[in-house]
Structure 1
Amino acid sequence: MENLMKFSKTIFSALLLASTATFADTYNGEVELRYFGNGASVGDTLLIIDNVSSLQIRGTYNFSAVDTTNKPLAEADFLGKHSFINASYSSIDSDDSNYFDLSNSKSIGAGFYIPNSIFYIGAGYAELDDSNDTVVSLGITPIDGLLITTSHNDEAKDYSLNLSAKYVTQLAGDTAINLETGYKKGRDAEDDFEEDKDDTIYVAADYYFNSRLSVGAAFIDAEASVYIIRSRYFYSEKVSFKAEAISADNQGAFNLGAAIRF
């Protein structure tokens, strides 16, 4: 954790420097620093656990330059169908003896939009201490701003029906809206050591007041009901800050982040 804290100070200094500079309206990469209170991030999955905190460094690189002109800054890469690779590392601290074995998590992933087609393919690998999981996704982009995917992870022996959709559309002026939804069918336990898994339903929406500021909410209905309020603000074309408040079955968590683009 100490080394990651030193690195976070370097990132913060870079954020201050970048906020005073002038850049073109394009970027290729983004580096983000996140802090989770009462939780930890494993890849794109959030674990909500009392008395657990984590610090995550996450990087994304788009293979072609992302043009942010006349687009919500947070959605420019998605709207432009830019293929990417990302990676993250989390350092985890726990004051709960039940979770002393948690120390760090790592992930790597990629997404590719096949040129001159509507098809998308993605893959990811996540590792939490001695456990790991691999996921493969297939998707289509039937219209501009819409991506529909289905995924399979090697943790499950058989494919479980699941669909995810994300749609971003621009409204009047600089305003825009992001809509997300997902469904995953539950499955019965495969042996006496497992428990049945319920169906999972996910819905989310973000409203962009302009190209820089968004406020949104999300709801996840699974083994627990999770409610999320979130916001992201771009201080400049290259520097952004985000915050999330999370509630799940009388447990509260939060996520604070800062990012720089290059």
Structure 2
Amino acid sequence: MKIKLLPTIIAAAGFLTAPFALSATYQSEISAAYADIDVSNDSEEGYFVGLEGTYYFSPVDTKNHPLAEAAFIEKASNLYIGLGNFEFKEAGDRLDIYQRSIGVDFYIPNTMFYLGAGVNEIKSKYTWPAEGNFAGGTDSSKWDSTWFVKAGVAPVTGLLVWTEFTEDIDVSDQWNINGKYVIPLSGEQALNIEASYEKSDISYAEDTITGTVDYYLDRNLSLGAGFVNVSYNSDEDSTTDYFVRARNFFTDNISAELTYTDGDYESSLMLGGTIRF
């Protein structure tokens, strides 16, 4: 069984778009998502359910920004909490993976520097049915906690470059570099470009490269596409997942997104929504 955290994806251009809105602010948001996961060439199937809440230390001004990128462009420091559950079933076997996290993103005032920190926790539960002379049962793990820290720079408006460090892992054994740049175009149009690279000597995945581009037709609606390429510490060929996604704000405070991923091992369709206050 190969389990990967899949990016979000595709959409239809039939979302309604609103005209240019006046300046509005928000200070918190709640997002939820559901994904249906289909494992290729297998009877295995699964789903993912996620919930995340974010509180910004100061109101976020959305004026003249794509609504989805306002907090990023404004360098809005925040506290966030996330919950997630993956479930996979095959021939009566069932595997549940539970995730929870808490973290903070902090932009040091009047500087270009960014810091982040948090804790990720994960546990699993495996259930199998009775078969022949063997009884069914359940095996559960305890919560496994791992802290992380992030550091980066935001030298110009709309650009952040950062790296992440994880508990008990030396930089010489695993390192990464990540970037995100929101580029304003004519009118309300904009371009979001994201890329990351991770090199690891301690995990099955040796090199991981991701890239994403979102085009904002206006401040409400975006269409995007990207990929995740993984090379392994074995003779196995590298794998690549491709995805497309769309997001639309029906009002300044309510949005929906649709995502489709097509991978070498699995595909998924995810529907998500966000409410801002």
Same fold (TM over 0.5): yes
Q: 1:23, 1:237 within 8 Å by CA — same for their partners in 2?
A: no
Aligned to 2:127: none
Name 2:193's counterpart in structure 1. 179
- The alignment status of 1:140 with 2:139, answered yes or no, reads no
- The verdict on how the C-alpha distance between 1:155 and 1:207 changes in structure 2, with shifts beyond 3 A counting, is farther
> For residues 75 and 29 of structure 1, what CA distance do their matches in structure 2 show?
14
Query: 2: CA distance between counterparts of 1:102 and 1:128?
Result: 11
In 2 relative to 1, CA 86–50 (structure 1 residues): closer, same or farther, beyond 3 Å? farther
RMSD of aligned residue pairs (Cα, Å): 2.3
Secondary structure, in 3 states, of the residue corresponding to 2:63?
coil
Deviation, 1:105, is 1.5
The aligned counterpart of 2:82 is 88
Paired positions, count: 226
| Distance verdict in 2 for CA 1:214–1:158, change over 3 Å | same
Is 2:71 aligned against 1:77? Answer: yes
1 or 2 for the larger relative contact order (CA 8 Å, sep ≥6)? 2
Q: Distance in 1 between matches of 2:22 and 2:65?
A: 16
Amino acid at match of 1:242: E
Does the aligned pair in 2 maintain the 1:102–1:128 contact within 8 Å? no
- 1:255: how far off? 1.3
Q: 1:50 Cα shift? A: 4.6
Helix, strand or coil: the match of 2:68?
helix
Deviations along 1:163-207, whole A, 9 cap, x unmatched?
1000001110000000011111131x4xxxxx5432111111000
TM-score (norm 2): 0.76
Would the alpha carbon gap of residues 70 and 136 (structure 1) be closer, same or farther in structure 2, given more than 3 Å must change?
same
Normalised by the length of structure 1, the TM-score is 0.80
CA contact (8 A) 1:217 1:229 kept: yes
Which residue of structure 2 aligns with residue 35 of structure 1? 34
| Aligned mates of 1:99, 1:183 — CA distance in 2 | 35
In the alignment, does 2:208 pair up with 1:209? no
TM superposition shift of 1:114: 0.3
Change beyond 3 A, Cα 1:211–1:23: closer
Partners of 2:213 and 2:226 within 8 A in 1: yes
Larger deviation: 199-208 or 250-259? 250-259
Kindly indicate whether the alpha-carbon contact (under 8 Å) linking 2:195 and 2:209 is maintained by their aligned counterparts in 1: yes
Q: Which amino acid aligns with 1:203?
A: G
Pair 150,198 (structure 1): closer, same or farther in 2 beyond 3 Å: same
Alpha-carbon distance change, 261 to 161 in structure 1, aligned in 2, over 3 angstroms = same
Identity %: 33
Partner of 1:247: 262
Q: Is the 8 A contact 2:191 2:213 kept in 1?
A: yes
Question: What amino acid sits opposite 2:179 in the alignment?
Answer: A
What is aligned with 2:144?
Answer: 131
> Given the superposition, is the C-alpha separation of residues 24 and 37 from structure 1 closer, same or farther in structure 2, using an over 3 Å criterion?
same
Q: Secondary structure at the match of 1:143?
A: coil
Question: CA 1:52/1:133 → structure 2, altered by over 3 Å: closer, same or farther?
Answer: farther
Distance 1:23 1:97, change over 3 A: farther
Q: 1:143 to 1:99 in 2, by over 3 A?
A: farther
Answer with 1 or 2: which has the greater Rg: 2
2:231 matches 1:218: no
Question: What residue is the counterpart of 1:161 in the other structure?
Answer: 175
Unpaired runs of 5+ in structure 2?
Answer: 1-20, 124-142, 232-238
Amino acid at match of 1:200: T
Match of 1:46 in 2: none
Cα deviation for residue 254 of structure 1 reads 1.7
Q: 1:216 deviation in Å?
A: 0.4
Alpha-carbon offset, residue 132 of structure 1? 3.1
Q: CA deviation at 1:157?
A: 4.3
Moved more, 153-162 or 25-34: 153-162
Correspondence list, 1:7-156, <5 A: 25-38=24-37, 50-96=44-90, 100-129=94-123, 130-154=143-167, 156=169
CA distance in 1, matches of 2:26, 2:197: 33
